[in-house]
């Protein structure tokens, strides 16, 4: 449906979209700047290393982020592409987080099974809710004072479904953060029973893992808060500068979380591992722990087996 109007009352909407587009460009600049900033380390720690699952995830997330930031400027035209990308990238970041937690819990099989069950349940639910939300999203072409724009509106309970999406995502991220801090505190308490060199190595290892996780989680908290505010009825029915700032801040935080801090979850560990390997007195057990984060082959195979098992059970019960 096309809506044409020359009413001066539509000028705030035009200004709002122009202002929002400028800040979307700023979000893209942040992603590209971080890529340029880390390109040297990426070539050394990613491109020149043996292929693994973590390398594949890093490259996909990193190099999807650049075109994603460009398409975001045309977000109203490519809303389906952007939302589909959000789901896929979030699932990839979940796999990275599972690999990190699995390593921090020293390869615990029970912890891996627990994380896979929670992760698969949340990811499947998220994909279903996102598909339903997009089905009831209506796009419109607007021509205000000669300016062409595309807008979208929600029908039914789409806003409620989107809020449920972020609740599920929040549950997963809070769970991952609590598990990370729990095992880190436990290991720090056990350091006194180890030698000074081993204790220092373990402490540095967990410091790298926890530090990057905290930065990632802080960005996620910002995204969640802005999303919940922008999806409120008051914000959706307003064209004020406050709403524009919230939308822009949400997009910037989301881009930073997925395409800047997401790849750094892998890059920071690889950087520390390279430093550890260069030291001849580094502990073999710590190297093994970090290798499970870097490669994630066992994680990937078990995820595939878990998905196949879930499909087999579903087919047996409902086919």
Q: What is the DSSP string of the chain?
A: -EEEE--GGGHHHHHHHHHHHHHHHHHHHHHHHHHHHTHHHHIIIIITSPP-HHHHHHHHHHHHHHHHHHHHTTTTTSHHHHHHHHHHHHHHHHHHHHHHHHHHTTT-HHHHHHHHHHHHHHHHHHHHHHHHHHHTEEEEEEEETTEEEEEEEE-TTHHHHHHHHHHHHHHHHHHHHHHHHHHHHHHHHHGGGS-HHHHHHHHHHHHHHHHHHHHHHHHHHHHHHHHHHHTSHHHHT--SHHHHHHHHHHHHHHHHIIIIIHHHHHHHHHHHHHHHHHSTT--HHHHHHHHHHHH-HHHHHHHHHHHHHHHHHHHHHH-
Contact 261, 219 (CB under 8 A): yes
Cα separation, 314 vs 267, whole angstroms: 37
Cα separation, 299 vs 112, whole angstroms: 8
Task: Tell me the average pLDDT across 289-313.
Answer: 49
pLDDT beyond 50 at 262: yes
Counted domains in the chain: 1
pLDDT of residue 310: 44
Residue 102 pLDDT level (bands cut at 50, 70, 90) = confident
| Higher-scoring residue by pLDDT: 131, 197 | 131
Cα separation, 242 vs 234, whole angstroms: 11
| Higher-scoring residue by pLDDT: 180, 203 | 180
pLDDT of residue 129: 81
pLDDT of residue 76: 52
pLDDT of residue 12: 66
pLDDT beyond 70 at 155: no
Residue 222 pLDDT level (bands cut at 50, 70, 90) = confident
Between 12-16, 164-168, 215-219, 261-265, the lowest mean confidence (pLDDT) is in 12-16
DSSP bridge partners of 154: 137
Cα separation, 311 vs 319, whole angstroms: 11
Task: Tell me the average pLDDT across 128-154.
Answer: 69
Residue 67, domain CATH: 1.20.1070
pLDDT of residue 313: 41
Structural domain span for residue 194: 2-318
pLDDT beyond 70 at 191: no
pLDDT of residue 319: 39
pLDDT of residue 255: 82
């Amino acid at each position: 449906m096309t809506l044409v109007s020359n009413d001066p009352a539509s000028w705030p909407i035009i200004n709002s979209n122009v202002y929002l587009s400028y800040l979307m460009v700023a979000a893209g600049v942040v992603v590209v700047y971080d890529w340029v900033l880390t390109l040297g380390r990426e070539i050394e720690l990613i491109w020149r290393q043996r292929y693994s699952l973590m390398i594949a995830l890093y490259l996909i997330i990193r190099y999807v982020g650049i075109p994603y930031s460009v398409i975001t400027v045309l977000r109203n035209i490519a809303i389906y592409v952007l939302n589909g990308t959000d789901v896929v990238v979030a699932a990839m970041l979940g796999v990275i987080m599972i690999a990190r937690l699995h390593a921090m819990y020293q390869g615990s099989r029970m912890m891996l099974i627990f994380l896979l069950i929670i992760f698969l349940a949340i990811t499947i639910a998220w994909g279903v809710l996102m598909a339903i939300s997009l089905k009831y999203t209506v796009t419109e072409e607007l021509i205000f004072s000669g300016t062409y724009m595309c807008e979208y509106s929600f029908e039914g309970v789409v806003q409620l479904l989107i809020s449920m999406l972020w609740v599920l995502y929040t549950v997963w991220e809070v769970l991952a953060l609590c598990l990370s801090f729990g095992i880190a505190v436990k290991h720090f308490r056990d350091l006194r029973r180890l030698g000074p060199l081993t204790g220092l190595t373990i402490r540095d290892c967990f410091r790298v893992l926890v530090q990057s996780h905290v930065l990632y989680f802080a960005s996620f908290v910002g995204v969640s808060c802005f999303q919940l505010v922008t999806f409120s009825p008051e914000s959706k029915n307003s064209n004020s500068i406050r709403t524009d700032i919230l939308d822009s801040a949400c997009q910037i935080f989301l881009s930073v979380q997925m395409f800047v801090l997401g790849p750094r979850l892998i890059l920071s560990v690889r950087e520390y591992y390279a430093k550890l390997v260069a030291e001849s007195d580094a502990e073999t057990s710590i190297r093994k722990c970090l290798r499970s984060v870097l490669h994630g082959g066992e994680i990937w195979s078990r995820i595939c087996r878990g998905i196949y098992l879930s499909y087999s059970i579903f087919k047996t019960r409902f086919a």
